[in-house]
Amino acid sequence: MASSILSARDIRKSYGSTVALDGVSLEIEAGESLALMGPSGSGKTTLLHLLAGILTPDSGEVGWNEHGSWQRVDQMKESRRSQLRRESFGFVFQQGLLIPELTALENVALALMIDGVSRPQSEQRARQKLAALGLEGMEDRRIGQLSGGQAQRVAIARAQVADAEIVFADEPTGALDSHTSEDVMTALLGATTGQGRSLVLVTHDETVAARCSRLLRMRDGRIVQQTRSIPEHPGITYTEARS
Amino acid sequence: MTLRVAWLLARSGTGSRAATLLPIVAFAVVTALLLVVAGGAQAFWSWTDQTAGVYQVLSAIALALLVVPLLALGGSAARLSARRRDDRLSTLRLLGATPATVARLTVLESTALALAGAVVGVIGYFALVPAVALIPFRAEALGIPALVLAPWAIAAAVAGIAVVAAVSALIGLRQVVISPLGVRTRQNAPRLRWVRVAVGAAVIALALLLTNIVQIDVGITVIAIVLGCLFGGTLAVLNLVGPFVLRLMARRQVRRARTAAQLLGGRTVLESPKAAWRQVSGVAMTSFMAVFAGTGVAVLNAISGSEGATASDRALVTDIGTGLTITLVISFLMVACSAGVNQAADVFDRGDLYVNLGYLGMPRRIMDAARERAVMWPLVVVAVGSAAIAAIVVLPLAGYTLIVAPLSLLTIALSIAAGIGLVWAAMRLTRPVLTARLAAAA
């Protein structure tokens, strides 16, 4: 619990008569990478959105450890949750969803400018993040002029430019071929767990999930299985079934 | 086969309901305003007395002036209805539908929506007629019978709207037919050349030359032709140079942007200066008209105040003032509708992007500010720029004193302010569209 940065307790969420999440509890630790897998409609994306404060649960608690003080995300006002998402969380989506008319640099810098950081300072930090992700020299390219993998790395830079403590990724490699997918995962893990930050990602790809330190399998709005890799012995995992 | 597929697409879920309703509303507004204007013109053309000729010529000019914003609004509505279907039409192409099938479907859908809107517009027209009938000309209300158009005229207007929709849909969806995967792919921002400015300057110079010729004693026909060329030529110049000027200004704004909204607004214009111009080009027309109207009002005021003016002269002056006001108001309404329709379409087009910007923590006010900046500053540039060009062109005709007469300046300033205000109001009205889109994702 001491190293947990985000927790969910018995959270439930329904859309009309459809139960999306049915009493899910979990803790996310600092520096870990957590993969959420499961068939379509199993509640992965809803769980991701609840943890990220995009949605609020019908019941249950979502807690955020803000420098040692636990805050109830589910009880925050939308403006406060937006602020939390800007300052502490990062997001990477399947298609990157970058703004097509902006350059790579502007897309990354925008995340800071929204938070009131000056443009020169935002662009300086954005430039550093892009360079760290191997995109030096591509700062002035528009998104349409980048490959799918490069665009996803821009999205990763955007997610981490504010030094987010946790990055949420919804099928970040879903639209990529296997080779590019591997590169993007390397970049994503390097920019998050590699810097002591956490990563929560939704994926359908076993190869992608296998690179995370923990895997949760979901079905019908519940976590049905948890698999942890043992850091001291990479490749060795233990699995526990959860009811 | 096309009809069956069109029916399947038309029956799609509730998600597309707003996307379907919006073009219908836009076409309804176009039709209602078109019929009201035509009804007004008809009222004058039914007169047979001595002064009827003046009214008839002036109403023909007013109709001609309103054609541009009317076509712009019709085009916006058609593009909107066509763009709603981009995704599914592209998918159909991927599934093997031929370009001809997609073209037929596009025309069919847009025309159907236009027809539905036009029918609603006809109802709107009949609802407006009693109010418009109260407007006085020659010290008498126009009256309902004078404004009611013949059934064949109404049918012709509805058919005309459908044709505008069909043609605009075909033009708007050329990309889908050419490349099913390329609809959303944007590469380099389109380049606009300096040659536009050179051509524009040449036309303005020619217009100035013509206005000087008009001052020489020539026949009425020559004056009419020259005035027509003057109006048409300078408007064409505005259309030619406008996007280029917007691109230059947007580049400057992007370089100097300090906030997220300024950067996004500037980049949106820079992405497609032509699209930005299209949204506000109606105001170019109205600003242009405002200068003519302002000068005209000053001229009329001088005439009616002169000692030799008869009662009939004064009545004519009052009526011309009324006509100018009506023309300006209708023109502004169409521009405002056009801006609203385009902005609502933008929210639909980029809905996913806005939702995800919301996920990133971008407050809705910044999204709204960026959208509004992308329209409002080109609008101000266009309004003031057009008025300035109009003043240059009118100068040899009216003379400096009349243009800067307090009444002229007041009319021009009020007209431009009203136009900008209406577009701003139309933009504000689209805020709930974005709010609803964001709420639907939460």
- Kind of pairing between the strands at A222-230 and B140-141: unpaired
In this prediction, residue B179 carries a pLDDT of: 44
Q: Has residue B190 been placed in a domain?
A: no
| pLDDT tier for residue A105 given thresholds of 50, 70 and 90 | very high
Of A20, A25, A58, A63, which Cα lies nearest the Cα of A166?
A63
Do the domain assignments include residue B198? no
Q: Exposure pattern of B123-138 as b/e (b: 16+ CB <10 Å)? A: ebbeebbeebbebebe
Inter-chain touch B356–A145, beta carbons under 8 Å: no
Which residue of B lies nearest to A46 if distances are taken between CA atoms? B442
Distance of residue B421 Cα from the nearest chain A Cα, in angstroms = 28
The reply to whether B402 falls in a domain is: yes
Share of residues in chain A with pLDDT > 70 (%): 93
Long-range contacts (CB closer than 8 Å, 24 or more residues apart) made by A181-187? A181/A205, A181/A207, A181/A208, A182/A207, A183/A149, A184/A149, A184/A152, A184/A153, A184/A156, A185/A211, A187/A133, A187/A134, A187/A152, A187/A153, A187/A156
The verdict on B378 and B231 lying in the same domain is yes
User: Domain check: are B281 and B416 in the same one?
Assistant: yes
Q: Which residue of B has its CA nearest to A50?
A: B442
Q: Is there a domain that residue B47 lies in? A: yes
**In this complex, do A82 and B362 lie within 8 Å of one another by their Cβ atoms?**
yes
Contact B442 A55 (CB under 8 A): yes
- What's the CA gap between B312 and B320, in Å, rounded? 12
Verify whether the Cβ–Cβ distance B363 to A118 is below 8 Å.
Answer: no
DSSP B135: S
Provide the 3-class DSSP secondary structure of residue A137.
coil
Domain end (from B136, B151, B185) = B185
Q: Which residues of B touch A20 (CB under 8 A)?
A: none
Q: Which of B188, B267, B366 sits opposite A114 (nearest CB)?
A: B366
pLDDT of res. B120: 95
Task: Count up the domains in chain B and report the number.
Answer: 2
3-state secondary structure of B72: helix
Q: Tell if the CB–CB gap between A102 and B185 is shorter than 8 Å.
A: no
Q: Assign A6 a pLDDT band (cuts: 50, 70, 90).
A: very high
pLDDT number for residue B89:
65
pTM above the 0.90 mark?
no
Check residue B150 and give its pLDDT. Answer: 92
Which one-letter amino acid corresponds to residue B287?
A: S
**B181 and B217 assigned to the same domain:** no
Enter the tokens of residue A128. Answer: 């550093």
Q: Do A91 and B270 touch (CB under 8 A)?
A: no
Q: Identify the pLDDT of residue B15.
A: 46
Which range of residues forms the domain containing residue B367? 211-442
Angle at B110 between CA B270 and CA B155, to 5 degrees: 120
Q: Is A142 within 8 Å of B267 when comparing Cβ atoms? A: no
Total domains, chain A: 1
Task: For chain B, say whether A115 makes contact (Cβ under 8 Å).
Answer: yes
Q: Is the ipTM of this complex over 0.85?
A: no
Domain membership flag for residue B74: yes
Show the domain range for A189.
4-241
pLDDT of A91 higher than 60: yes
Task: Flag whether residue A140 sits within 8 Å of chain B, measured between CB atoms.
Answer: no
Residue A231 has pLDDT above 80, yes or no: no
Nearest-Cα distance to chain B for A104, in Å, is: 13
Collapsed DSSP state (helix, strand, coil) of residue A71: strand
- Is B361's Cβ below 8 Å from some Cβ in A? yes
Does the beta carbon of A144 lie under 8 angstroms from any beta carbon of chain B? yes
Looking at CA atoms only, how far is residue B204 from chain A in angstroms?
Answer: 34
B352 and A79 within 8 Å at the Cβ level: the answer is no
B84 shares its domain with B165: yes
Nearest residue of A to residue B363 by CA position? A82
Which member of A87, A100, A110 has the closest CB to residue B260?
A110
Q: Are residues B238 and B120 in the same domain?
A: no
DSSP codes joined into one string, B394-407: HHHHH-HHHHTSHH
Residue A67: which region, alpha, beta or left (left: phi > 0; alpha: psi -120 to 50)?
Answer: left
Nearest CA in chain B to A112: B260
SS3 of residue B186 by DSSP:
coil
Contact A111 B352 (CB under 8 A): no
Measure CB to CB from residue A113 to each of B263, B268, B359 and give the nearest one.
B263
The predicted model gives A154-162 an average pLDDT of 90
Give the residues across from A7 on adjacent strands: A27, A63
> A149 Cβ partners below 8 Å, 6+ apart?
A176, A180, A183, A184
Interface residue A88 vs chain B (CB under 8 A): no
- Do the Cβ atoms of B257 and A85 come within 8 Å? no
Nearest CA distance, B413 vs chain A (angstrom): 35
Q: What's the average pLDDT block by block, 10 residues per block, for chain B (442 residues)?
A: 60 56 82 88 82 78 71 69 62 70 78 90 94 87 89 92 80 52 42 65 71 59 62 74 88 92 90 81 76 73 71 77 79 80 78 82 88 87 84 73 75 82 86 83 70
Return the residue in B253, B272, B356 with the most chain A beta carbons within 10 A, the one to mutate for interface testing.
B356
Residues B227 and B323 in one domain: yes
Contact with chain A for residue B310, Cβ under 8 A: no
Which of B258, B353, B361 minimises the CB distance to A114?
Answer: B361
**B275/A contact by beta carbon, under 8 A:** no
| Residue-wise burial string across B143-175, b where 16 or more C-beta atoms lie within 10 A, e elsewhere | eeebbbbeeeebeebbebbbebbbbbbbebbee
> A4 to chain B, minimum CA–CA distance in Å?
23
Test B187 with A142 for CB contact under 8 angstroms. yes
Please give the average per-residue pLDDT across A66-91, as a whole number: 89
A82 near B CB under 8 A: yes
CA-nearest residue to B365 within chain A is A114
Q: Under an 8 A CB cutoff, do B270 and A101 touch? A: yes
Give the burial class of B440: count Cβ atoms within 10 A of its Cβ; 0-12 exposed, 13-18 middle, 19 or more buried.
Answer: exposed
Report the side by side order of strands in the sheet with A4-15.
Answer: A18-29, A4-15, A59-66, A69-72
Domain stops at, among B185, B220, B249: B185
CA dist., res. B265 & res. B433, Å (int): 18
| Residue B250 C-alpha, separation from nearest chain A C-alpha, in angstroms | 12
Domain end position, chosen among B185, B200, B225: B185
Assigned domain for B370 exists: yes
| B165/B218 same-domain check | no
Residue B177 and residue B256 in one domain: no
Question: For residue A167, what is the domain's CATH number?
Answer: 3.40.50.300
With H, G, I as helix, E, B as strand and everything else as coil, classify residue B365.
helix
A chain contacts of residue B273, beta-carbon cutoff 8 Å? none
Angle at A40 (CA atoms; ends A36, A41), nearest 5 degrees:
95
- Portion 39-78 of A in contact with B at CB < 8 A: 52, 54-55
Residue with tokens 């699209």: B275
Q: Is residue B295 part of a domain?
A: yes
Tell me the chain B residues in contact with residue A91 when contact means C-beta distances shorter than 8 Å: 356, 359-360
Mark whether B132 and B272 lie in a shared domain: no
Give the end-to-end CA distance of chain B in Å, rounded to a whole number.
Answer: 39
Phi, psi torsion values for B82, nearest 5 degrees: -75, -40
Judgement on whether residues B267 and B153 belong to the same structural domain of the protein: no
pLDDT tens, position by position, A107-154 = 999 989 988 899 999 999 999 999 988 899 999 998 888 888 899 899
* Residue in A91, A119, A142 closest to B360 by CB: A91
Together in a domain, B166 and B226? no
Quote the pLDDT of residue B11. 56
What is the per-residue pLDDT for B221? 55
Chain A to chain B Cβ contacts (< 8 Å):
72
Cβ-defined contact of A101 to B271 (cutoff 8 Å): yes
Is B283 part of a structural domain of the chain?
A: yes
